[in-house]
Amino acid sequence: MANWDGAGYAHISGLQRTMATDAVESVSLAGAEHVLDVGCGDGYVTRLIAARVPAGSVLGIDPSPRMIEAARTADDQLTNIDFGVGDVTTMTFPRDFDLIVSFNALHWVPDQQAAYRHIAAALEPGGRALVQYVCGGPRPSIEDVAMAVTGDARWSTAFAGFARPFVHIDPDALSSIAASADLEVIAHSVTDREWDFGSREAFARWCTVGFGDWTARLPSADIPAFIDDVVDRYEAVVGRPGLFRFLQLRAQLSRRTAVLKHS
Ligand SMILES: C[S@@+](CC[C@H](N)C(=O)[O-])C[C@H]1O[C@@H](n2cnc3c(N)ncnc32)[C@H](O)[C@@H]1O
């Protein structure tokens, strides 16, 4: 798993900021909830939530120490927020949460069952979860294109034995994955979204921060050429430079019954 560049992410994450800000605004909150933000990144969205639960609290967790370092250094007045290094597939907590949110993190977790099991185990009975992440569909994703490039003659030695670090689930599979974790899907939607980075260079910068799992296999001098190959090939999928298209799954879930803790 990549150690995401927290400082770099703040400069290129306008896309994720916009999507998560919209999602946070649509969540109904009474103001006293205890919330967990899974895959919180640099904590920007976690802070938006903390501001909406002044009598509650928010804990943001992320497996990337550099993201958590960036999250902890933000300068604000919020006192109801905390951050820690943690992975959704192994997380355990001394308390249960009323609400768990996760924005554009869960497609980086190949073991979806484990992710949802741990989400369920960290919720109060009747607690809610809101997850939003990239799902699968007919159009090749940027990550699919990156995997195709790893097979090119120039890169295949460096990527020998490289396993896909992501999963784009079939949205129709969500209810059975959730049910296996004793979670019920209350509502879900899939939106075909696009984001215009404005230039090929800006899109390549975004790919460089997000493709740490791939670039960790390469000497740093080769990283720009690998990203170039991915960006070039992706242009054929979307039709023009700097454009990014993706399917965004959004789901609201609730914990059904008592679940086995920390399985
Ligand atoms: C695109 S960033 C999203 C950050 C933030 N939620 C946002 O919307 O700006 C994806 C994050 O998922 C995190 N992530 C990857 N694997 C994870 C896992 N197994 N458990 C929790 N978070 C994970 C990465 O470290 C990264 O910070």
In short, whether 71's Cβ falls inside 6 Å of ligand 1 is no
Bridge partners (DSSP) listed for residue 191? 248
Distance of CA 125 to the CA centre of its chain: 25
Ligand 1, atom 25: nearest CA belongs to which residue?
64
Pocket test for ligand 1, best of 15, 45, 108, 141 (most atoms within 8 A of CB): 108
Task: Give the Å distance between the CA of 142 and the centre of ligand 1.
Answer: 17
User: Tokens 């039709």 label which residue?
Assistant: 239
Q: CA neighbours within 13 Å on the CB side: how many for 42?
A: 19
Q: List C-alpha distances in Å: 186 to 62, 121, 174, 181.
A: 26, 18, 11, 14
| pLDDT tens track, the chain, 263 positions | 777 666 666 666 778 788 878 888 888 899 999 999 999 999 999 999 999 999 999 999 999 999 999 999 987 789 999 999 999 999 999 879 999 999 999 999 999 999 999 999 999 998 999 999 999 999 999 999 999 999 999 999 999 999 999 999 999 999 999 999 999 999 999 999 999 999 999 999 999 999 999 999 999 999 999 999 999 999 999 999 999 999 999 999 999 865 555 54
pLDDT at 11: 63
Task: Give the Å distance between the CA of 206 and the centre of ligand 1.
Answer: 15
Q: Ligand 1: which atom is nearest the Cα of residue 20? A: 8
Task: Give the Å distance between the CA of 251 and the centre of ligand 1.
Answer: 17
In short, whether 206's Cβ falls inside 6 Å of ligand 1 is no
CA distance 148 to 129: 34
Task: Give the Å distance between the CA of 63 and the centre of ligand 1.
Answer: 8
Question: pTM of the entire structure?
Answer: 0.92
What residue spans define the domains of the chain? 6-136+164-196+245-255
CA distance 181 to 256: 9
Pocket test for ligand 1, best of 64, 134, 166, 195 (most atoms within 8 A of CB): 64
In short, whether 8's Cβ falls inside 6 Å of ligand 1 is no
The tokens describing 184, both together, are 């019920």
pLDDT at 263: 45
pLDDT at 9: 63
In short, whether 97's Cβ falls inside 6 Å of ligand 1 is no
Task: Give the Å distance between the CA of 40 and the centre of ligand 1.
Answer: 6
Considering just the CA atoms, what is the radius of gyration of the chain in Å?
A: 18
The tokens describing 136, both together, are 């699968």
pLDDT digits (tens, 9 = 90+) for 55-87: 999 999 999 999 999 999 987 789 999 999 999
In short, whether 88's Cβ falls inside 6 Å of ligand 1 is yes
| Residue range 6-136+164-196+245-255 in CATH 3.40.50.150 | yes
Q: Are 211 and 244 in contact (CB under 8 A)?
A: no
Q: List C-alpha distances in Å: 30 to 7, 19, 27.
A: 32, 22, 10
Distance of CA 212 to the CA centre of its chain: 14
pLDDT at 18: 84
